[in-house]
Structure 1
Amino acid sequence: MSASELAEEEERHRKRAPWGVIALVLLTGLALIRNGSGEFDAGPPQPASAAASEARPAGEGALPKALTPLPYAVPARVRVPAIQVDAPMTPVGLDADGWVGAPPPEDPNLAGWFTGAVSPGEKGTAVVVGHVDNKQGPAVFYGLGALKQGNKVEIAREDGKTAVFEIYAVEVFEKDDFPGDRVYASKGSPELRVITCGGGFTKQNGYAGNVVAFARLTEVR
């Protein structure tokens, strides 16, 4: 794609997504080229809601009571027992072009915490991103779409505390219709979004969507 075409595409995204630059990396920057060996032709698991005619809006239904927010602390590690994730975390910010960075794709077992949002456990919505795969095969959040309501995401923080979040929804959204305000807006309590690529895949365009796990703080250890 030429520089002018990239500029036009970015402008279209900005007009469609007034909620800002945070979403742009999730619309473009995590759309990796999937392993072409044929071993993973089935693709990563997709959320059940992706097949539904109308996905239930995130946040509806019975939710666990949120805890008192924690103070700021850098997250060090993310664990998701249900999908056997146990990975170190690295801060990601904005790069020289104004895009949110992503973990290095050559390290499949590494997650990124976006430093432009709150730290996991603070009041507001923290954002954790990671690759679904790389050229060698599945990466840290390959199984994200298999999570179910009630599964836990544990974030070990550098202050010695572990913030435990409970999943209340997992959905997949088309990149061209990504509901940024719904995904990133603060709910007034400590929440977490874990995001990777998903949906359909083509070699030409990569993944068509993003899988988003919505979670709320329910325990501090």
Structure 2
Amino acid sequence: MYARLALVPVVLAVLTGCSSAAPTPAAPTAAPAALGTASPGTVRAARVAAPAKVAIPSIGVSSPLLRLGLNADRTVEVPPSDKGMTAGWYTGSAVPGRTGAAVIIGHNDTRFGRAVFHDLRKITKGADVTVTDERGKTSHFTVTSTESVSKTAFPTQRVYGSTTDHALRLITCDGDFDAQGHPVNNLIVYATLD
């Protein structure tokens, strides 16, 4: 029997370091709010198969999934720059297909060039996103909306907060570049389980 995990507030991150202009990977920037509770899917994550692959046929994405946790400063990890063509599932979010908001993060570009979510801005409402778990079970999600938001006004609660839906969020960098060569926005894709 699994013990219920103690849930502690964490500072969640927006995705940075996507620019190929950056000489080294940038550290994640903390989002403006902390998450006080986790979704019900998060507590059960240890009992179900973890996601292993994400596919978005309409934009040519097919990627294994890394497991992303928290950095020492309590910000959400992002995939390493040298694994730019690989997306990652934030293990503090729900397991895709379970109740709650599952979060998958990928770079747009890195200092090594084009990355896994380079074409995410081309995704349209109604597009299919498939997540396959370690046991081979697939969950299909339908894109309901997208938004590009400033990293300084990241909607932490809307993305990571508790929900009774079977939701999926895809996150990458977006927008113009700042003086350090980093995109100033995040692109967020919202999808729900079919």
Structure with higher strand content: 2
Task: Specify the alignment match of 2:157 in structure 1.
Answer: 181
Structure 2: which amino acid aligns with 1:141? Answer: F
Task: Specify the alignment match of 1:61 in structure 2.
Answer: none
Alpha-carbon shift at residue 20 of structure 1 (Å): 4.5
Q: Structure 1: how far apart are the matches of 2:18 and 2:167? A: 30
Structure 2: which amino acid aligns with 1:126? Answer: A
> What is the correspondence of 1:1-221 to structure 2 with a 5 Å cutoff?
20-22=10-12, 24=13, 26=14, 30-32=15-17, 34-36=19-21, 72-204=48-180, 206-218=182-194
Q: Structure 1: how far apart are the matches of 2:51 and 2:96? A: 7
Task: Specify the alignment match of 1:57 in structure 2.
Answer: none
Structure 1: which amino acid aligns with 2:148? Answer: V
Structure 2: which amino acid aligns with 1:101? Answer: E
- Per-residue CA deviations over 1:128-164 (Å, capped at 9, x if unaligned) read 0011111132100011111110001110101221011
Q: SS of the residue aligned with 1:35? A: coil
8 Å contact kept, 1:173–1:211 = yes
TM-score, with length taken from structure 2: 0.78
8 Å contact kept, 2:18–2:173 = no
Q: What root-mean-square deviation, in Å, do the aligned CA atoms of Structure 1 and Structure 2 show?
A: 1.8
* Residue identity (%): 38
Structure with higher helix content: 1
8 Å contact kept, 2:173–2:185 = yes
Moved over 4 A (4+): none
Alpha-carbon shift at residue 191 of structure 1 (Å): 0.4
Give the length in aligned residue pairs. Answer: 162
Q: SS of the residue aligned with 1:181? A: helix
Unpaired segments ≥5 residues, structure 2: 1-8, 22-44
Q: SS of the residue aligned with 1:106? A: helix
Q: Structure 1: how far apart are the matches of 2:100 and 2:18? A: 32
Largest Rg, 1 or 2: 1
8 Å contact kept, 1:198–1:210 = yes
Q: Structure 2: how far apart are the matches of 1:207 and 1:193? A: 19
Q: Structure 1: how far apart are the matches of 2:118 and 2:164? A: 30
8 Å contact kept, 1:72–1:122 = no
Q: Structure 1: how far apart are the matches of 2:170 and 2:19? A: 20
Q: Structure 1: how far apart are the matches of 2:138 and 2:176? A: 34
Q: Structure 2: how far apart are the matches of 1:181 and 1:99? A: 15
8 Å contact kept, 2:175–2:183 = yes
TM-score, with length taken from structure 1: 0.69
Structure 1: which amino acid aligns with 2:72? Answer: A
8 Å contact kept, 1:88–1:109 = no
Q: Structure 2: how far apart are the matches of 1:155 and 1:102? A: 18
Alpha-carbon shift at residue 185 of structure 1 (Å): 2.5
